[in-house]
Amino acid sequence: MTEAQARAAYDALKAEQQAHEQACPPIVPTEAKAQWCNAWARELNMRKTELETRLGQLGVQILPSGVEPAPDPSTPTG
């Protein structure tokens, strides 16, 4: 998987995680829905781990949203 493919897959995964959050609130009405939501969450987390591992191998740093990477210490500031 190339870097571009991995980034695209990661972006698609983030969209699917948002869909999961909409479909699966913290309290679900039935046991069956809870099991379905939990299975979906496990699958999403497994894919996320695989994609983050691949992106790491490609030298791409994954940060939480809203977090900026630390400045390169070798770059002068001021």
Total count of domains within the chain = 1
Classify residue 69: in a domain, yes or no.
no
DSSP assigned state of 74:
T
Residue ranges making up the domain that contains 20:
3-58
Q: Is 16 exposed, middle or buried (0-12, 13-18, 19+ CB in 10 A)?
A: middle
Q: What is the pLDDT of residue 77?
A: 65
pLDDT in tens, 30-55: 999 999 999 999 999 999 999 999 99
Mean pLDDT of the chain: 90
Classify residue 7: in a domain, yes or no.
yes
pLDDT in tens, 18-35: 999 999 999 999 999 999
Classify residue 54: in a domain, yes or no.
yes
Classify residue 66: in a domain, yes or no.
no
Classify residue 74: in a domain, yes or no.
no
Q: What is the pLDDT of residue 50?
A: 96
> pLDDT at residue 78 above 70?
no
